[in-house]
Every structure is written in C-alpha cells, then in structure tokens.
Structure 1
Amino acid sequence: MTDELLTLVGADLHEDVARCAAAAGYRIVPGSPTECRREWLRAGAIAVDGHAIDELTGLAPPRRAGIVMVTAGEPSAETWRAAMNLGAEYAVALPAEESTLVGLLTDFRAPATNPAAAIAVIGGHGGAGVTTLAAAVALAGADLGPRVLLLDVDDLGAGIDLALGIEGRAGLRWQDLTVAAGAMRASALHDALPHVDDRLSVLAPRPDSHHPIAVEPVVAALDAARAEGDTVVVDLPRAGGPVTDAVLDTVDLVVVVTTATVPGAASTRQVVTRVRRHGVWAELAVRGPAPSGLRAAQVAATVGLPLLAAYRSDPGLPGRMDAGRLRITPRSPLGRAARAVHRAADRATRVAA
C-alpha cells in the first residue's frame, strides 16, 4: 500500500482531514466518488464523508480495508450500514476527534500486499496485432506470477480465446454474466471460465451472441481480480465506448500497438489523444517490419508516447496459431515484447505507489 490518503470529502471537512493526514505522514489525493476506481485499491487509506458514501453505494467498488468515515456530526444508521458494506470499520467526528483520526491513519500504514497490475492493450489502427500481443502478455504473466485474468472486450473481434486455442472449452462468456459491480469474487470467476492452464483464465464474448458486452460485468471482473491480487490483461477495441472508457479509468498501464508505417502513426496519434483524456500512463509497442525504413523511435516521437518495445513479426505465427494455439518463448521477439510490457506495468504501479 502507499502513503497516500484518498479523500472523498466535501469542502467543509477537507481542511480537518488534510491536517490529520499530514500529522500521520500521508499525502492527500483528492478524488471524486464517480472517478476513483484506479485510486480505490492503490491508496494506503481512504477518508469518505456521508455524501460520498451515498454515491459509492450505487457504484459498489470492491470492499477493502483502510476506510474511515469522517463526519461533522452523528451519521445515520443507513449511512453507517452503507459505509460498513464498503469496508469501513470506524466513524470519526471532526474536528473533535482529530487525534483519533491521526491514530487510525497511522495504524493503516501497516504493510499490506499491493494489488497486481492491470494492463490494457489497444490498437492504434486496424491490423496492428493487438490480440496477438495481449494474448502473449497474458501468457507471459502466467509464467511470471500466480494468476492472470485475460479479458477480451472487443465483441466485434474474432475472439482472443480463438488465438489461444480454447474457443471450444466450457465456461462462461461475457453474455452469461449479469453480476453487478462489487458482487463478484475472482476465485469463483476463475473456476467458471475457460482456462489455458491453472494460472490463466479467459473471459471473452460469445461469438453467436448479438448482445453487446455490458459495462457492469466488465467493471465487476476488473475490480474483483485486482482486489485479489491477480494480474489483469484487457484486449480493448480501438473504437471508444462506455466499456473502453471504464477500462481506461481503471487500469494502470495502456499499451498502444502500431506498425512502423506513416499511416499507422497518423492513426495512432488520434487513439493516443483519446487515451490521454483518462489520465492513465500509456506506452507504445511498434511491430515491424518497416517497409519505408521508419524507425520505432521516430514512430514514438510522432505519436508522443514512450517507446516500450519494438519487435518484428513472426511470419510463421499465423500458421502455427491456425494449427493449435499461440505459444511464445521468452527469447522470441513476441516473448521479449510481452515481458517488456510487464516491466512497464511494474514501473507504472511503482509510480502510482
């Protein structure tokens, strides 16, 4: 956890909370209940007032420790129950109980396990190779950590389960989920999904369904996995929409994939502009070859993102995928790019911390 205090309080309580945070050694991170998903699990502690609790109740973020309700008076029984449902165990009246709040915040700084990284992969243009890289990142994550949840939220794509050779395996798809945010447990979700192996589970659209993927189950799956320390990899569609916006508001790192071409770079600039509106850290992966000799560093400079990885296409990969499923080795170009993504995600989460 970090030494940051996410404050979801009104102006009437802000100065009191800030004074207590400074005394306990925290840095204040002001937030909005409707736009705090990324910070909700990353912050060392959270201070919420009654108005914020009312808003959060409708949004149902995952329960967590380190939440304290701050009030200017006695909270109602209904507000107190809603706060406890979020994970709050304490209510502090300010300014009378400032010393109590300082003590609680100090106790919350005990070491705890950080949530694992959440990574989104999005194309700068059509045919950039997003699904292949996202699948490779998930496979590499399963080699590097205990458990990975791979989410394919592109309901117009071929399906990342097809790339992994598990499209015929039993398990839930997006259209089977009706669970609301905050009501899902990652361990149960993993058991219900198609698996590549015991470390990697995949949630993809049902190809024969005409129902679009809904925002609520996507947010629920992301929140549940992050809360239990799973690495999450999301294959995002290039077109915007509510699902894409919700993912970009939650993940720690966005990997924008492009090719080393002038039209590809021009299209990618537009995608990068949209991604940046969400305040999420983004880096660029450039897939070769470069027919005109355009260098990956030049592409990165053109689109305005740090260069994460430059890797060449494997001409034999499509045939191998048609014959079975995607397999990568750590030393292959795709394998090195996938591991570079995980290193970038580690950097992004450390910066957030």
Structure 2
Amino acid sequence: MRSPTTRSHTTDASPFSPPPPRPLIVTADDALLDDLLRIAAAAGADIDVASDADSARAAWAPVPMVIVGEDQAAGLAHLAPPRRRDVHLVTRSRDDPAVWRHAVDLGAERVAVLPEDESWLADRIADATEGDGSSALVVGVIGGRGGAGSSVLATALALTACRRSLSTMLVDFDPLGGGLDLALGAEEAVGLRWPDLAGSRGRLSARALRGELPGKHGLTVLSWDRGDLLAVTPESAQAVLGAAQRACDLVVLDLPRKLDPAAEQAAAVCATVLLVVPAELRAVAAASRVAAALIPLVRDVRVVCRGPARARIGGPEVAAALELPLAAHMAAERRLTDHLDRGDPPGLHDRGPLASTSGRLLDDLLFEHQLSAP
C-alpha cells in the first residue's frame, strides 16, 4: 500500500500495472473496522485501511472515497487535509457534539451513524468503486410472432459485440424460451441463473454479478433455467439491470412477446428495441400487437425483417405497415437449425446474413449512442 501503517483489505492487482485507487477507511478501532469491512464486502468493494491520521493524510487525495472513524476524526482534522468530495465520518453515537464539529472541520458530506446507516453507506461505497451512473448501451430484441428468431438475433448481436472487444452481457427475459444458455452452448457452465437472483433488491455489485454469471466465447449470459420459476419481480429486474449497466459496455435483452411486469421494467431501460418480423402477412398482424405494447415503454422501436419476401412483402413494406422505422432486412441463414443443434452459437463467426446484419445493426447503434470499443 502507500504507507507501512496503511494496509489493504484485499488485492487483485495485475503485476504489470498499479491497481486503481480504492476507498479508504481511517480507523484504529477494531470493532468499527470489522463492521466497515463487512459493509464494504456487501457492496462488493475492495478497501484500503489506514490506522492513523498521518498515513491517512498521505493517501487522502487520490482515493475515490474516505470513511473516517470517530476515533481518528480529531487527529485528522488537526492535520487539516485538503478539502475534497466523498468524505464521510462514521460514528455509533448520534448525540456526541464533538463528532459533528470534527465532521465540519474535515468537510465531511455526512455523518453516518451505525447501524442505522449501513445500507446507505454500502450504496455510497459501491458508487465510489463502480460509479453511480449507468454507462452501458441497452438494446432489446423481441419477436413479432413466435419463432421469429429474436433469441437468435439477440445472441448474434451480443457475440458480434464481444468479437469487437466490447464487454457485453446477454440477459434472458423470456421464461418460456428454453434458456439462452442453450443458444450460447453454455448450458453446462457453472453460474447463477434467474432463480438465484429472483429475490434481488436494491443495488447489486456489478463486479460480483459479472463474476458469478456463466459465459462462453467471452460473452456473459443471465439465463432462465429449466426449473419451475416463470417470473421475477420488477424490483429484481431493476437491481440486475442496474448492475449489468455498470458492469458492461453493452447489455442485450431478449424480451418475451407478452411483456410481464419485469419485462416491462426491462423494456423501459432500453435505448432501442429491435422488433424481429418475418416477411409474412400473419407475422405483420401479430407484430402490430407486440408493437402496441412496446411503444408506450420505449422511445425507439425498429423493425428487423427476416427471411425471403413473400407475396411481395419486403422489409420496407413490413416497416410501413407497422409504422416503424426499418433497421434491417435480413436474408435467411442457411442451415441455421443444424448449427444451433450442434451447439454452434449464432454470430460467433463473421460470415453469413446473420453475422453481417448483426454487424450493421451494431455499427448503427454504437454510432448513434456514441459508444466506442475500448
């Protein structure tokens, strides 16, 4: 760490580059330290610890957040460290006027009283570690009718992004779709599925979520399993999507045609939803009902027309009938079913109509939302 009297709670630094600064706890109170480390662990954060005011002042400026225990507040205030944001003083007594004076002297934004403010403090630590914004582009894919190929396109779009070195998460919101881990060939991969996250509330750690989900070919996937659970709450969907947005550059959602409350929550987060519609009259009629449910939730719904045109119906005609913009007309993918049955995921390679269409869609979406690969 930065000083012999400052110790690190955990470390996962690369041997080739210094680790990013971590939130700093300043206390010599072992009982208070144990509580603060437990709160940090709940936030999924690595923490550095300084046991005295001198070492804390040396590490003061570069860290994203400073948590000062009441036992070190007077000594640190005496040293007059530079004013900065995200300084919080932690105490067990709300009634000690000296604590509040030291908080003013340190320029602390808040005095957190334990145990009442534990949840608040965990959220602030997570914000300091992961950021409090949601930077990822979220794209939904939904079928205009059953068997339209929306899950295939969602998987191909996500894998195309991975091939371009974008960190990507594929999230399955269709409990009756059989599980997107099957489409990815990751059904045997160890990791969490929706039933494991069905009780999620509040804020989830982005790093923990990404680390616990299964994946393959560089793509992380949150899938349904083949069990009995067929729904999650909107609160669970919100918690998972918030963590996914902080964890990735791109989040691709496979949405069900009939939106339940959790899927409605997910659709509302999307910057764009792609409505996959085969070039057929009945498919257009079915897609009109799906579009009617989407439009109040999503500001940007676009049509992806799939397959050979029949009865003189092509992509422009399908989009015009639905009164939506046309994102792409995708030709049929030969032997797609054979490839899927072999466990060869769609979009894994850069050849064929599916891969080329996914590439064009991704180009357009990234350009419009000003997201670039790292």
Q: 2:311 aligns to what?
A: 292
Q: Does 1:320 align with 2:334?
A: no
- Segments of structure 2 that go 5 or more residues without pairing to the other structure are 1-63, 66-84, 87-109, 126-131
Q: Give me the whole-angstrom Cα distance separating, in 1, the residues matched to 2:182 and 2:331.
A: 22
5 Å-filtered alignment, 1:1-353, equals 115-178=135-198, 180-197=200-217, 199-328=218-347, 329-350=349-370
Per the alignment, in what secondary structure is the counterpart of residue 156 of structure 1?
Answer: coil
Separation (CA, whole Å) in 2 of partners of 1:244 and 1:153: 6
Contact 1:175/1:206, CA 8 A, preserved across alignment: yes
Please give the TM-score of this superposition, normalised by the length of structure 2. 0.62
Question: What secondary structure does 2:305 align onto?
Answer: strand
**Any idea what SS the aligned residue of 1:342 has?**
helix
Whichever of the two has the greater Rg, that structure is: 2
Decide whether the 8 Å contact of 2:171 with 2:253 is kept in 1.
yes
Distance 1:84 1:194, change over 3 A: closer
2:210–2:244 contact (8 Å) kept in structure 1: no
Letter in 2 for 1:249: A
Distance (Å, rounded) in 1 between the aligned partners of 2:143 and 2:112: 48
Contact 1:171 1:192 in 2 (8 A): yes
TM-score (norm 1): 0.65
- Once the two structures are TM-superposed, the CA of residue 137 in structure 1 deviates from its matched residue by 0.7
Report which structure shows greater RCO (CA 8 Å, sep ≥6). 1
- What SS is found at the alignment partner of 2:187? coil
- Taking a change above 3 Å as real, the CA distance of residues 157 and 327 of structure 1, as seen in their structure-2 partners, is closer
Counterpart of 2:315 in structure 1: which amino acid? Answer: A
Q: Which residue identity lines up with residue 223 of structure 1 in the other structure?
A: G
C-alpha distance in 2 between matches for 1:212 and 1:169:
22
The answer as to whether partners of 1:308 and 1:340 remain within 8 angstroms in 2 is no
Q: How far 1:178 moved relative to its partner?
A: 4.3
CA distance in 2, matches of 1:319, 1:139: 19
Quote how far apart the aligned CAs of 1:87 are: 5.5
One-letter amino acid matched to 2:178? A
User: Which amino acid in structure 2 is aligned with residue 301 of structure 1?
Assistant: A
Aligned mates of 1:267, 1:132 — CA distance in 2: 19
Q: Which residue of 1 aligns with 2:19?
A: none
Contact 2:330 2:357 in 1 (8 A): yes
The answer on whether the counterparts of 1:260 and 1:290 sit within 8 Å (CA) in structure 2 is: yes
The Cα of 1:316 is off from its aligned counterpart by: 0.6
Report the 3-state secondary structure (helix = DSSP H, G, I; strand = E; otherwise coil) of the residue aligned with 1:154. Answer: coil
User: Compared with structure 1, are the counterparts of its residues 319 and 299 closer, same or farther at alpha carbon in structure 2 (3 Å cutoff)?
Assistant: same
| Alpha-carbon spacing, 1:191–1:294, altered in 2? closer, same or farther (3 Å) | same
Residue 241 of structure 1 deviates from its aligned partner by 1.5
Give the stretch that moved more between structures: 146-155 or 225-234.
225-234
1:225 and 1:202 mapped to 2: Cα distance?
Answer: 10
Does the residue aligned with 1:247 lie in a helix, a strand or coil?
helix
Q: Displacement of 1:82 after TM fit?
A: 8.8
What is the alpha-carbon distance in structure 2 between the residues aligned to residue 156 and residue 272 of structure 1?
20
Whole-Å Cα distance in 2 between the matches of residues 81 and 190 of structure 1?
Answer: 24
C-alpha contact 1:123 1:257 (8 A) present in aligned 2: yes
Q: Work out whether residues 119 and 253 of structure 1, in 8 Å CA contact, stay in contact via their aligned partners in 2.
A: yes
Superposed CA deviations along residues 51-91 of structure 1, whole A, max 9, x for unmatched, are xxxxxxxxxxxxx9999xxxxxxx9999x999877659xxx
Counterpart of 1:298 in structure 2: which amino acid?
Answer: E
**1:151–1:203 CA contact under 8 A, matched in 2:** yes
1:209 Cα deviation after fit: 2.5
Over the matched positions of the two proteins, sequence identity in percent amounts to 30
After TM superposition, give the deviation of residue 189 of structure 1 in Å.
1.3
Q: What SS does the corresponding residue of 1:167 show, helix, strand or coil?
A: coil
Tell whether the 8 Å contact from 2:272 to 2:298 is kept in structure 1 after alignment: no
SS of residue matched to 1:249: helix
C-alpha RMSD of the superposition: 3.3
Q: 1:279 to 1:234 in 2, by over 3 A?
A: closer
Structure 2 match to 1:47: none
**For the Cα contact (< 8 Å) 1:141–1:148, is it kept in 2?**
yes
C-alpha distance after superposition, 1:300-353 (max 9, x if no partner): 1111111111111223110111112214332421012212232332255359xx
- SS at structure 1 position matched to 2:253: strand
* Separation in structure 2 between the aligned mates of residue 181 and residue 280 of structure 1, nearest angstrom: 26
Offset of 1:297 from its aligned partner?
0.7
1:153 maps to amino acid:
F
